[in-house]
Amino acid sequence: MVATLSFKTDVYPFIQSKCASCHNGSAVDGSLDLTSESKAFTNLTTGTAAESGCTAQYVVSGDATSSLLYQKVSGSGLTRSCGSQMPYLTSANVTTVQDWINQGAAP
């Protein structure tokens, strides 16, 4: 049984260290702002992004495979995750994102 995960303690620490430097709300990476825990949680759980001509939700609570966030971090999306400058997430980080979303994406 997987322990109940939270964004604040289980997901955001590696999002902050590996993603927020580019996803800071500037023109570099659109409007996705991951620079604070509250902004990141709100933007990921309520936001959408245009991806290959379609609009997708970053997080579909309870369904990681339909979530753009999971598709990006796992490499299963339509485009390569973030680019060559990205400090890649570990497989444990990817599993944490998947489990957190599948558990309902709790704060």
**DSSP per residue over 23-62, as a string?**
-BSSGGGTT-B-SSHHHHHHHHHH-EEEETTEEEES--TT
Are 61 and 101 a contacting pair, CB within 8 Å?
yes
Are 17 and 89 a contacting pair, CB within 8 Å?
no
pLDDT tens across 51-63, in order? 667 788 999 999 9
> pLDDT band for position 87 (50/70/90)?
low
Q: What single-letter DSSP state applies at residue 2?
A: P
Distance CA(27)–CA(90), nearest Å, equals 27
List the structure tokens of 20: 């927020």
pLDDT tens across 14-41, in order? 999 988 888 887 755 557 899 999 999 9
Domain boundaries, the chain: 7-102
Global confidence as pTM: 0.86
CA distances from 36 to 7, 42, 48, 50, 77 (A): 12, 10, 18, 23, 25
With a CB cutoff of 8 Å and minimum separation 6, the contacts of 2 are 99, 103
